[in-house]
Amino acid sequence: MFFKKKIVVATHNGAFHPDDVFAVALLSILYKGNIRVVRTRDEKILSKADFVVDIGFEYDPSKNRFDHHQEGGAGKRENGISYSTFGILWKEYGEKVCGSRRIADIIDKKLVEIIDADDCGVDLCKPIVQGIYPFTITDAIYSFNITWKESVSEIDAFFLRAVDFAAKVLSREIKTSQDKIEAEGLVEEVYRNSDDKRIIIFGEKHLPKSLIINYPEPIFTVYKEKEGSRWRVTTIRTFDGSYEPRKNFPESWWGKKKEELAEITGIPDVVFCRNGGIFAGAETKEGAIKLARLAVEV
């Protein structure tokens, strides 16, 4: 029986960062898990590796050497964010693992640049509420490092756990983006066929509602829940990544359910309206559409 030789990927030992973790995760996806990871600073071992990432002071894709710590670094994007090892590997292999340049660019903006900025000391977020920061993907990776109470002998095992986690995240982001791109034409068709462009009725089509943000008129979407028989009316956000809706449901509806909400709206099969007024529900499609129409006009 023929056994394919594993690709040897070398990176530095000691504490790890999202940069080197995601770099190794990318190579694991590229080679379908057929890699062997070596964490070392021994130059003799590094010289024999198939890939050397985040160590070695050399950036030369033709030799599979990907580091950004050398004098002058590994370049910057037009927006000023410097490339880390994950970024330069993504430039080389992102399109291949994604299946298209467009999806690779989407993942670059959504994930790769976040990792690169972190590794290069660039702050991307400022707290709106003093002292409260988002728990990001970089924080999740840092949490895999050993604590002061854990043995240094465990760190390589923790690194591999982090790589496995990162590979799953990266794979899901690629899949999510692929499916979202595939849905664009279908969402456009639903939009185009909507009589009232303020209310987009998806019905039982479970397409990504976020794509409706690309159109200026929509305020609410109506669709059947994927699990269960109820129907939901959801607000449209002002832009992708924002929680601010184009229009809330009336404040008098917030937190109300069934009989109380039915009395306010005059719609007998309503179920609830969430606090904050970002979505509401009904037992039937007709009831959900009536809710949306009422909310548009209020």
- For residue 1, pLDDT over 60 is answered with no
Which residues, at least 6 apart from 183, have a Cβ–Cβ distance to it below 8 Å? 207, 208, 211
**E strands present in the chain:** 7-11, 35-39, 51-53, 59-60, 65-66, 199-203, 220-224, 231-235, 270-273, 279-282
Mean pLDDT of 293-297: 94
Note the pLDDT of residue 244.
87
Question: Tens digits of per-residue pLDDT, 65-92?
Answer: 999 999 999 999 999 999 999 999 999 9
Residue with tokens 């109380």: 260
Largest Cα span, the chain: 78
Q: Sign of the CA dihedral 235, 241, 243, 244?
A: negative
Distance CA 209, CA 195 (A): 18
Note the pLDDT of residue 26.
98
Distance CA 281, CA 227 (A): 13
Note the pLDDT of residue 11.
98
Distance CA 63, CA 52 (A): 9
- C-alpha R_g of the chain: 24
218, burial (CB in 10 Å: exposed 0-12, middle 13-18, buried 19+): buried
Q: How far apart are the first and last CA of the chain?
A: 72
Q: What is the mean pLDDT of the chain?
A: 94
Question: Tens digits of per-residue pLDDT, 144-189?
Answer: 999 999 999 999 999 999 999 999 999 999 999 999 999 999 999 9
Backbone φ and ψ of 128, nearest 5°: -80, -40
Q: Which two tokens stand for residue 9?
A: 């990927």
Q: Are 146 and 152 in contact (CB under 8 A)?
A: yes
Distance CA 142, CA 181 (A): 31
Q: Which two tokens stand for residue 172?
A: 């899901």
Distance CA 235, CA 241 (A): 14
**How many helical (H) and strand (E) elements, i.e. helices and strands, does the chain have?**
9, 10
Total Cβ atoms within 10 A of residue 202: 21
List the 279-282 sheet strands across, edge first.
199-203, 220-224, 231-235, 279-282, 270-273
Distance CA 253, CA 231 (A): 17
Question: Tens digits of per-residue pLDDT, 237-275?
Answer: 888 777 789 999 999 999 998 999 999 999 999 999 999
Mean pLDDT of 52-77: 95
Note the pLDDT of residue 2.
46
Q: pLDDT-based confidence at 4, cuts 50/70/90?
A: low
199 has which bridge partners? 220
Note the pLDDT of residue 173.
97
Distance CA 142, CA 153 (A): 17
Q: Are 18 and 137 in contact (CB under 8 A)?
A: yes
Tell me the pTM: 0.88
SS3 266: coil
Q: Are 246 and 237 in contact (CB under 8 A)?
A: yes
